[in-house]
Amino acid sequence: MPAARSRRWRQRRARAASPCATLARSRSPSAAVPRRSTTCISPTEAAAGGTGARGRRPGDYNAAHETVFPTGCADRGRRVSSATARNGRRLNPILGIAIALLGIVVALSIAGFWWRTELRQTKGKLHRTRRRAEEIQARLDWISRHSNDVILLLDADGWIVDANERLTEAYGYARNEVLGRHIGEFRSLSTGGRSRSRELLGDIIRDGSVIFESVHVRKDGSEVPVEVNARRLDLDGCTFLIGSVRDITERKQQEALLRRSEAAYRALFDAVPQPMCVYDLETLRILGANDAGVAQFGYSREEMSRMTVVELLAPREEERLKQHVARNSTAPLLLSGLWESRRKGGGTFVTEVVSHSVSIDGRPARVVVATDVTQRLRVENALHASEARYRALFRSNPHPMWAYDLETLAFLAVNDAATSQYGYSESEFLSMTIADIRPPEDVDRLKEHVRRYSDEVLSDSGIWTHRTRDGRLIDVEIVSHAITLSGRPARIVLAHDVTRRLAAERAVQASEERYRKLFEQANDAIVELDLTGRIHAVNDEAARIFGYSRDELVGGNLRDVVPESEQPRLEHLLAATLATSTLRVPYDGRWNLVRRDGDSFIAKVRARVLENGTVIVVVHDLTEYLTVQRRLERQRDLYNLLSHCSHAVTHGESRESLLAEVATLAVRHGPFRIVTVSRIDNAGQVFRDDGVVAALREGRTVVCNDGRSGALAAMPGAEPSTGAIGSAAVLPVFTRGEATHALLFCSNETDVFDVEIMKTLEQVAAEVSFGLDALATRRDLAAAYADLEIKVEERTRDLAEAKDRAEAADRAKSTFLSSVSHELRSPLHSIIGFTAVLLEGIGGPLNESQREHLDVVRDSAQHLLSIISDLLDISRIEAGAMAIVQAPYRPDEVLRRVVQRFRIEAETKGLEFRLETDGTRAGATGDERRVEQVVTNLVSNAIKYTAAGGVLVRSRVVGDRLVIDVEDTGRGIPAAEQQRIFARFTQLDPEAGRLAEGTGLGLAIARGLAGAMGGRIEVVSEPGRGSRFTLHLPLGATQSVQDGTRLAG
């Protein structure tokens, strides 16, 4: 073997040394290319040997400097010389020499042309060869760097010449460890080893390219399935093989999953309640049928597998079927209409057929759903012939199903089960995507899953978490199938709710752990024994209850623990269990058991037989339970006593009836024989001991639990000598803080009045005291209520008179304002008009001083008119009588007029004054004059109170609202003053950054007008940065509102 390997190595070295054996020369762009030398030799030189081009060494001659005439050239020279000699007598010798020289020149030109042509072709071929080698090398280098696959370069015999760095990661070998090794050494023996590699090498060389799967062996001996894509590469007449080796482990796993998915699909196919079958489109042979199909047609599966689909139809349907198949063979989903089918016995019936194209073993086929509609057609005629085509498999499926678009993920169709389970209506589903029913954290994984498996025909996507409309999360198992709807790729999905199944599986997994914890931590004794009574396991509580250790109990018999009095019951239990190997009804009973120290106790014993024959006995010690039960019964009686006393106190109508009711309830619900109620006073005292009375007056309770004590002598009717009373207690009852009555409770038994009973009796005494106080308070309230009614009537009369006076004052104010405004505005209009006439020069020319005086008069009159108008507006706003006109208007035109009006004033102050309108060119509906009035006020304030910077007026439409902003760069408004500026006659203090001027009504009127128009004004301001006032108004509907409509403010 070493000799053979050495021989192969020498052969590879020899091949590598040959010019065509490797790509090493072509990889280096600077590799020297030997220059070809083209020469022509004469026969003499060829006969001499060693003078021609083929006999010379490559360095003997330089083709650029030497040309040897060929044989043909020498013959032509001799013929020319002969002709010249024959005619020498007639030609001039000079002419002969010229002809000879001309022949020589022609021969040299021909030889030179031929030589240059050969040289040019040789250089071009060398250049193309070198460029191709460089391109191939660059391509191989790029592929080697960027490919995730292993790239191998082999010679024609399969020896590795080169490999990329991916080899180390994939196989564990260093690159220099594989160079020079045969590719067959990496092939698993299970796939043929080197002998199979030689066959594949021959196939690659013969066919040019081969793709095949194999199993390779890594350096650590592990095997990995691979896919090999090999191609033949011819360079300079030499053959190489280049191949990419891809790890297909994941693909093999997916193929295994696909096989399981196909099995699940087959199970789903068989479980579909509608009759279904699959047939070959070319031969029409039936390939398979589900259980419903077998039952409907009456044939067995074996019989149907030997039949064609034609045999399931009536004879007259045969020609129609062939035409139908020929016409619709490629249709993915086809509603084939109604067909007359035939059962095994020859009977016919009408079926509605829906089919879907599939590919089985590479052959075209169709899945057919044939629903028997004979009875339905007979009853309903043909009313829903088209409707049942799709609903047979989709709508009526008990599991949720839907179809979605693979590109947009939008729902295309859903069935009724989906709408029922998820809570969305069908229209809501069709406006959603499949991502909308996933939790947000699963959306990215869903998109990746859709992208990865979009090409798979049938996909078992596993279990996903879905979200219903009410937010509930459910686990569903998804099976999907690739389809085409409306020419777009889609998938049809069947979702099976496995929430309960998964919960059950998790419950089963946790069952053993829970049982172990319950067994160990249970508060009851648990004993496991067989049918003979032998104990197999006990918990710590069992050892504690019986007084034995766990080791002492395990291995023993339950008969050794149960006392003799209970042995018959134990034997009966074991005998019944042994006879039937089960207990039809779990045993439940009370036993008297004995601990190891001889202490007896009552226990509740429950027994159940498991399927494996193990008997589980649970022993619960009832000692504490019985004690607590007796205590609870007494507490229940005391609670009933307290509850009924509370009811009596609430509904008692007099002091005597309340006290009598309490005494009766105490005897009925408490452990008392006598209960009496006595009044504590100096006359008619029933107590024999003045000490008891003194204690009651001090609010103390007197208790005597020992009937033999002389203390009972103080109690009325007590006879200690006869033992009629064993214990007694007396409690004081208070009326408005004073002890007025005593409650006496007597019992035949001793030690009855413990702490618990005394607390209840004290609560009863407190309830009775509360009832007596309530009765007294009720009497006082009745008297106070009668007095209050008289005072309310007097106050009501006073308020009515004040209201009448206020209304009269308001009417007088309105009348005054209306009269005064008319009387004031009429002369003011005259003053303004005549001033304008004089300023226009109609009454004669004016000098400069007269013109200035008239300007002052006009400005003062206009200012006074503005103040009067403001007073009238604020009066109307306060009275709710502001008239708002609803008419179409252009908001941008309103803003443009306002800006134009104040532009000169702003430029005079050096302010930047800008208007921006966004989407407000369209019309709006409202009171144009009032809108302009509000905006004018806001712009006037902005310019007035801005010393530097600028003012911006901006409008935009937000939903159904018109929004107008007036923003300035003034000194701003403090937060504490931003709401106060909207009050009437309110101005900021000078130190707040604004000058105190005007009436202080502008912003109050602006906010009032905005509210009357259904809008509002907001302010955002920051001292030192400026203010922004925002007016919000409704846009209205211009087409529906008539011009001039007036709405009361």
What's the CA gap between 181 and 185, in Å, rounded?
7
476 Ramachandran zone, left/alpha/beta (phi>0; psi -120 to 50): beta
The CATH code that applies to domain 397-504 is 3.30.450.20
Report phi then psi at 964, rounded to 5. -120, 125
Q: How far is residue 291's CA from residue 288's CA, in Å, rounded to a whole number?
A: 10
Phi, psi of 647 (to 5 degrees): -65, -40
**What topology is assigned to 882-1034 in CATH?**
Heat Shock Protein 90 (3.30.565)
Task: Please report, in angstroms and rounded to a whole number, the separation of the first and last CA atoms in the chain.
Answer: 114
Residues 898, 932 contacting (CB under 8 angstroms): yes
Instruction: Indicate the DSSP class of residue 598.
Output: S
Which structure tokens are listed for 475?
Answer: 């686990």
> What Cα–Cα distance (Å) separates residue 74 from each residue in 53, 95, 97, 852?
17, 21, 17, 129
**Overall residue count recorded for the chain in this entry:** 1049
Report, at the CATH architecture level, how domain 522-622 is classified. 2-Layer Sandwich (3.30)
> Rounded to an integer, what distance in angstroms lies between the CA atom of residue 359 and that of residue 281?
10
CATH of 629-786, one of 3.30.450.40, 3.40.50.300, 1.10.10.10, 3.30.300.30: 3.30.450.40
Quick check: 1015 and 1032 in contact, CB under 8 A? yes
Average pLDDT of adjacent 10-residue blocks, the chain of 1049 residues: 46 42 38 36 37 37 35 42 48 74 82 82 77 70 71 85 81 84 78 75 84 85 87 80 85 80 75 86 88 88 88 87 80 76 88 85 86 79 52 78 91 90 92 91 88 76 89 90 84 89 83 77 85 88 88 88 86 74 68 86 85 84 80 75 74 74 76 74 53 77 69 49 68 82 80 79 81 79 82 83 76 66 71 79 80 79 74 71 84 91 90 83 84 91 90 91 92 84 69 54 85 91 91 70 33
Q: CA neighbours within 13 Å on the CB side: how many for 930?
A: 26
Residues 6+ apart with CB under 8 A from 291: 270, 271
Q: What is the DSSP string of 1008-1047?
A: HHHHHTT-EEEEEEETTTEEEEEEEEE---TTTS-TTEEE
Burial class of residue 853 in the structure, from the number of CB atoms within 10 Å of its CB (0-12 exposed, 13-18 middle, 19+ buried): middle
Q: Which of 568, 570, 567 is nearest to 587 (CA)?
A: 570
pLDDT at position 955: 92
pLDDT at 126: 75
- What is the pairing mode between strands 912-918 and 950-958? parallel
- pLDDT score at 15: 46
d(CA 1003, CA 363): 85
CA distance 905 to 903: 5
Q: How far apart are CA 771 and CA 696, in angstroms?
A: 19
Instruction: For residue 210, count other CB atoms closer than 10 A to its CB.
Output: 19
Q: At what angle do helices 623-651 and 655-669 cross, to 10 degrees?
A: 170
Q: What is the CATH number of domain 272-379?
A: 3.30.450.20
Per residue, the 3-state secondary structure of 919-946, as one string, reads CCCCCEEECHHHHHHHHHHHHHHHHHCC
How far apart, in whole angstroms, are the C-alpha atoms of residue 1013 and residue 1032? 10
pLDDT at 720: 44
Is residue 1027 within 8 A of residue 859, CB to CB? The reply is no
Residue that is written with structure tokens 């939903």 in the block: 959
Topology (CATH level 3) of domain 147-246: Beta-Lactamase (3.30.450)
Cβ contacts of 175 within 8 Å, gap of 6 or more: 163, 165, 167, 168
